[in-house]
Amino acid sequence: MIPLLVIPAAALCLLGTLLLYLTSPQQLLLAAGPWPSHRSWWPGITCLLASLLLLLRVLAPVEAVAGWSVLAMLLWTALPFFGAWHARRRAKKAV
């Protein structure tokens, strides 16, 4: 049962990184611009911390933190490229 906690941990990590990316002024996923700036970072941080807590239940502390940080960095690296691709598709549709 406990190894199944990896799936919600990964989903929460994905959601947390996405929410933090959407608060960035340079994000390209939303055409309307960044998410509202008044304390908009706390949902993303909450999701990331919940993800880390779930991983700590499944793995040893060093492995949990390493896996969590690698997954978060992978997603933070991929999201700007996906945002640029999405903005380019949106610009082509507008023309």
Residue 94 — very low, low, confident or very high, per pLDDT cuts 50/70/90? confident
Compute the residue count for the chain: 95
What is the per-residue pLDDT across 67-88, written as a single tens digit (0 to 9) for each? 999 999 999 999 999 988 988 9
In the structure encoding, which two tokens stand for residue 94, read together?
A: 């507008």
Predicted TM-score (pTM) of the model is 0.86
Pure H helices in 27-60 = 42-58
Q: How many CB atoms lie within 10 A of CB 8?
A: 12
- For the chain, percent of residues with pLDDT exceeding 90: 59
Q: Which residue has the higher pLDDT, 39 or 11?
A: 11
Q: Which residue has the higher pLDDT, 34 or 21?
A: 21
